[in-house]
Amino acid sequence: QKEVEQNSGPLSVPEGAIASLNCTYSDRGSQSFFWYRQYSGKSPELIMSIYSNGDKEDGRFTAQLNKASQYVSLLIRDSQPSDSATYLCAVLNSGYALNFGKGTSLLVTP
Amino acid sequence: AAGVIQSPRHLIKEKRETATLKCYPIPRHDTVYWYQQGPGQDPQFLISFYEKMQSDKGSIPDRFSAQQFSDYHSELNMSSLELGDSALYFCASSLRLGDQETQYFGPGTRLLVL
């Protein structure tokens, strides 16, 4: 079973701080990685995709990928209460379906 | 921008009944995926279609079947419903680009089996 592991949290950060979310994966051949945000009862919303080692920045979000360590992370700068949600790490499998981690619950406190 | 459309948004069924969920992908997307998300769980892949052919199969029960039609919409047919089938069912669509492919999720259908 190809696995994607995340700390379930909850991760609590104060408003304005940096939130750091981490994910590891077991399939060394994986090439494509995604972060989705999911509010309770709603559908997953794509935040970031990353395919190459290093950092990728989009606004307040930075995704980091280290294929040698099989590790992908998401940094959220200047966290806002509206960022409070579950963040799902997903890895594209060989059939192009997504394998999800169990998600990290983020709580940004005012 | 147009998004993935799913219908119905909510569905209540009795045990042993059947249900049909529909998915309309983003225009020009050629691939559709179905995922099931139980309470407190992560989404689990069920089945996918590319250019109207089954592309991959995940943890889809034999009681479920699906297809993609000529207009690229997809339907998930669920028979002999069980209490454990109560879940959110998401459809996602994409343009098949291999490893660079990005999936966009619809709003989901919440199925409750009584």
Does residue A1 have a pLDDT over 60?
no
pLDDT at A62: 98
Q: Tell me if the bond preceding A10 is cis, omega within 30° of 0.
A: yes
Mean pLDDT of chain A: 95
B98: three-class secondary structure by DSSP: helix
Left (φ > 0), alpha (ψ -120 to 50) or beta: where does A70 sit?
A: left
- Which pair of tokens denotes residue B46? 């069920």
- pLDDT band at B99, cuts 50/70/90? confident
Residue % of chain B over a pLDDT of 90:
91
Mean pLDDT of chain B: 95
Residue % of chain A over a pLDDT of 70:
98
Does residue B53 have a pLDDT over 70?
yes
Summarised one tens digit per residue, pLDDT across range A23-58 is 999 999 899 999 999 999 999 999 999 999 999 999
pLDDT at A92: 92
Q: What is the count of residue pairs from A and B with beta carbons less than 8 Å apart?
A: 61
Helix extents (H) in A29-90 = none
Q: How far is B7 from chain A (nearest CA, A)?
A: 14
Summarised one tens digit per residue, pLDDT across range B23-40 is 999 999 999 999 999 999
- pLDDT band at A95, cuts 50/70/90? confident
A17: three-class secondary structure by DSSP: coil
Cα separation, A49 vs A59, whole angstroms = 13
* Sole residue written with tokens 């989705």: A36
Q: Which of B105, B106, B88, B95 is nearest to B38 (CA)?
A: B88
What average pLDDT does the segment B35-46 reach?
95
Does residue A108 have a pLDDT over 80?
yes
Q: How far is A61 from chain B (nearest CA, A)?
A: 18
| Minimal-distance CA residue of chain B relative to A4 | B42
Q: Within an 8 Å CB–CB cutoff, is residue A2 touching chain B?
A: no
- Which pair of tokens denotes residue A52? 């190459």
- pLDDT band at A2, cuts 50/70/90? low
- Which pair of tokens denotes residue A97? 């379906």
Cα separation, B62 vs B22, whole angstroms = 19
Q: How far is B54 from chain A (nearest CA, A)?
A: 11
Contact B45 A44 (CB under 8 A): no
